[in-house]
Amino acid sequence: MSPAKKSTRAKRPAAKSAASPRKLAKKVAAKSSKQSVARKAAAKTRGKTAAQTPLAEYKRKRDFAKTKEPAGSAPKKNAKQLHFVIQKHSASQLHFDWRLELDGVMKSWAVPKGPSLDPSVKRLAMEVEDHPIEYNTFEGTIPQGEYGGGTVMLWDRGWYEAEDGGGLESLRSGYAKGDLKVTLHGSRLEGSWVLVRMKRPGRPQWLLIKHRDDYADEARDIVADETTSVASKRTMDEIAKGDKVWNSNR
């Protein structure tokens, strides 16, 4: 009723409408057909090796008798809306796990400094093993001594889509090419982002960069501002204390 209430409520639909803007349609039209042929070819060659042993590395690294993380069932079919989740993970080193649903698993990157809303900032994002989609609801502790031992907070979640409106095909080829442009619709992160793979030997390292749009904000340190769970509103300390695993050996 109050004007203040109205203005906060008005933000939501505005954010949602970013999903189908005329801008995106223009961009799609602008892509050359040559580019789209190359993308299709890249997606075709990539598909086979990636699909052979989904989640094998995820399962190999964990003892599900000891950790409460989900064991991960067979990869799920792509939902109508693709999920994304960001988990703040205080393990041997604090980092943010950036996860995007693609072809039934969560493609995952560990971002030591977390996302930045400043388009001039490039954040290192180390690609890690695919995670099961069930991981999207995991918040709690992983026992010390186990893989990733420490505290996990659900820091942001929502859905995402290809920035160019090209759907799954665009996401698959973007991932394969190492140039993955996405639009996020989360509680804390919104708008256009890109992950760019660096050409270095070893495990793929990417850079996470905010694109310039209405959600970019050079002045705001969102990682410092948002220190509670998007799901439970708990701090890292509260999550750690609230879990019996933490004290099980005392």
Residues lying near Mn ion in the complex (CB under 5 A) are found at: 89, 97
Query: Considering the complex, what minimum distance in angstroms separates the CB of residue 217 from Mn ion?
Result: 25
Between 167-177 and 33-52, two packed helices, what is the crossing angle to 10 degrees? 80
Q: How far is the CB of 110 from Mn ion (least distance, A)?
A: 5
Query: From the CB of 191, what's the least distance to Mn ion, in Å?
Result: 24
**Between residues 89 and 123, which has the closer beta carbon with respect to Mn ion?**
89
Query: What is the spatial distance between Cα 106 and Cα 88, in angstroms, rounded to a whole number?
Result: 16
- Which CB, 23 or 61, lies closer to Mn ion? 61
Q: Are 162 and 170 in contact (CB under 8 A)?
A: yes
Whole-number Cα distances in Å, 93 to 110, 129, 239: 10, 17, 17
Kindly tell me which of 87 and 183 has the beta carbon lying closer to Mn ion.
Answer: 87
Enter the tokens of residue 89: 């993970």
CB of 28 to Mn ion, least distance (A): 34
Residue nearest to Mn ion (CB): 89
- Residue nearer to Mn ion on the CB measure, 89 or 107: 89
Helices (H), the chain: 3-17, 22-30, 33-52, 56-60, 167-177, 222-225, 236-241
Smallest separation, CB 87 to Mn ion (Å): 7
Nearer to Mn ion, 39 or 62 (CB): 62
User: Regarding beta strands 150-162 and 82-90, do their DSSP bridges make them parallel or antiparallel, or are they unpaired?
Assistant: antiparallel
Residue bearing tokens 């409408």: 17
